Structure 1
Amino acid sequence: MKSPMSIRFAVLLSCTALAAALSTGCASDTPNRQADAAVPVSRTPLLTKARATVLGQTVVYPTGTPAEVSSATVTMQPGQETGWHRHDAPLYVQVLEGTVTVEYDGGVVKAYPKGSVFMEATGTYHNGRNLGNEPVLLLTVSIGAEGIENTVARP
């Protein structure tokens, strides 16, 4: 079992990667550094202290090899599916657009609308589908380690 510090570190890494991926910059035609310094930084928590996946599994950070954190955006057009797959390391997901519907082995089905953030199931095969009429856009952050595949297709 991982210590709370390991879990906090993994969540911190995922949030840092998320912030970097979503950063849009703050350009101005007439910069005023003194005024900018007086404005407090805005922070909106999206996922805090997650200790379990969407299926109630304990989030466990891989050990024994160097960490590898990867992020990606996934776009699914209406009617598209991810195909059955699993993740062997913790995966943070944020739904940026649309609604993704995920079916897990055992028949559990969950729908995640725009704005949802969650830790995806680990080691459980699942298939994501876009059942809507608009594209689905996901931000994923894999908190893996060297030698561990982020996504493994069902044989």
Structure 2
Amino acid sequence: MTATVRYADVEVGTELPEQTYPVRRLDLVRYAGASGDFNEIHWNERVAKSVGLPDVIAHGMLTMAQAGRIVTDWVGDPGALVEYSVRFSAPVVVPDDDTGASVEVSGVVKEKRDDNTVVIALTARSNGVKVLARSTAVVRLA
């Protein structure tokens, strides 16, 4: 998305278009290669279950990146992101099938500041479970 969101056009309560991001085991392998995080809980079901997880889980930073993507896609400029924070509340469990899991992300403008920035509250869920808590992004708008 390359649209430019203008500060004057945004109000508290403005909703970002909800997005759904698929997460398959193949995505986890690719992310491990890109990030260097080869922890076995992200690809080995036996190891994941041995430490009390229900199955292989997605990398937390991958989940965080997907949630942030809704903001950068909405604003049209990744450089407009000023602050971004999340708290992980549950893992994204990724079954070993052709479908995998999905992360559904939504956002709403919670505050407009005098410096052309807005605070966006994000919600991320997977399989009906909230996977990120207290997730906020601050973006500078045109």
Structure in which a larger fraction of residues adopt helix: 2
TM (norm. structure 1) is 0.30
Bigger CA radius of gyration: 1
Structure (1/2) with the larger strand percentage: 2
TM-score by length of structure 2 reads 0.32
